[in-house]
Structure 1
Amino acid sequence: MQINVYSIEKKEDFKKEIEEFIKKSRPFADVKNITLYSKNLSKTNSPQKEYSNIFEKYTKDGFNIILTPDGKLMDSTEFSKLFEYPKINFFIGGAWGFDEDFKKKGINISLTPLTLSHKIAKIVLFEQIYRALTIKNNHPYHK
């Protein structure tokens, strides 16, 4: 199984912690942390559209999960049921979120009803990916 986490960032925070979750996930899946950025973001009047343009080419292959505040809330067990595809792509936008057209390219989930910075959402997502993989593989971490 391949899991790609795409995010918009100038500077990556929590790198050490994210790498630790990736390492722990290796027995179960090939997890990648892919950060993207475009200089056009500082010039655009429509950052939502620019986020979507940056991510567009990565939506063509695999099952797409888009993190958005208005997405579906689920518990860890329900989240783990999404891990039935050989390739899963997660998308974390910047502060402006995604435009409606991009949201139609996959299922939309929310990690919490609280507003999180995308950097905090990202570390929570990597922990939940590891937790979901342990649930799917009957590993005791999730208990």
Structure 2
Amino acid sequence: MNITVYTIEKSNDKSLDALASEYIKMISRFAKAQEVKIFTKQIALAQTIGEKEARASYTKAYEPFLKGYNIALDVQGTLVDSETFSLFFDEDVHINFFIGGAFGFDEAFLGQTQKIISLSRLTYAHKIAKVVLFEQIYRGLCIKNNHPYHK
């Protein structure tokens, strides 16, 4: 199983990146995981113009990666618990998670994904959402593999 987390990030936070890396290492017991940070000049410019332009730039940046099973994280997505989240890992496939940019996703992009979920009704900074997502991926894989971490 391959798991990729895509984020729209323009800067690094060494402490949160280290935490994400630690979860990626823990996940590697069960699956290959990686993160892909995307931030282009087009995204930076679009974000200064407006929401519509920013969302369009996120879609343009993410669309080439819509292969396999695609899950978008969106505040309006379906809330799932950890047990339900673990069901995403029932198939041995390539799973892509997409964390939206500052202005969220275009409806057109969301329509190209297989699932739209929310980690919470709270809004998180992208870096924090990414760490929470990696923790839930690890937890979900532990549930799937009957590992005691979830207990």
2:19 alignment counterpart:
17
Runs (5+) with no aligned partner, structure 1: none
1:67 has 2:73 as partner: yes
State the Cα deviation string for residues 12-32 of structure 1 (Å, max 9, x = none): 331110110011111100000
- The secondary structure found in structure 2 opposite 1:98 is coil
2:130 alignment counterpart:
122
Task: Give 1:120 deviation, angstroms.
Answer: 1.1
1:49 has 2:56 as partner: yes
Instruction: Please give the residue correspondences for 1:94-109 in structure 2 after superposition, counting only pairs within 5 Å.
Output: 94-106=101-113, 107-109=115-117
Task: Give 1:84 deviation, angstroms.
Answer: 2.4
State the Cα deviation string for residues 24-75 of structure 1 (Å, max 9, x = none): 111100000111111012222310110010000000x210000000000010
- Aligned equivalents of 1:71, 1:127: Cα separation in 2: 19
2:119 alignment counterpart:
111
- The secondary structure found in structure 1 opposite 2:121 is coil
Letter in 2 for 1:116: Y
- 8 Å CA contact 2:90–2:144 kept in 1: the answer is no
- Aligned equivalents of 1:84, 1:53: Cα separation in 2: 30
Question: How many positions carry a matched residue from both structures?
Answer: 142
Task: Give 1:83 deviation, angstroms.
Answer: 1.2
| TM-score, normalisation: structure 2 | 0.91
Runs (5+) with no aligned partner, structure 2: none
1:35 alignment counterpart:
37
After TM superposition, the structure 1 stretch with the greater mean CA deviation from structure 2, 109-118 or 66-75, is: 109-118
- 8 Å CA contact 2:10–2:39 kept in 1: the answer is yes
| TM-score, normalisation: structure 1 | 0.96
- Aligned equivalents of 1:76, 1:23: Cα separation in 2: 20
Structure 1 runs, 4 residues or longer, greater than 4 Å off: none
- Aligned equivalents of 1:12, 1:129: Cα separation in 2: 21
- Aligned equivalents of 2:112, 2:97: Cα separation in 1: 11
Letter in 2 for 1:5: V
Letter in 2 for 1:10: K
- 8 Å CA contact 2:73–2:98 kept in 1: the answer is yes
- The secondary structure found in structure 1 opposite 2:89 is coil
Identity %: 48
By percentage of residues, which structure has more helix? 2
- Aligned equivalents of 1:77, 1:42: Cα separation in 2: 37
- Aligned equivalents of 1:8, 1:132: Cα separation in 2: 24
RMSD: 0.9
- Aligned equivalents of 2:12, 2:94: Cα separation in 1: 24
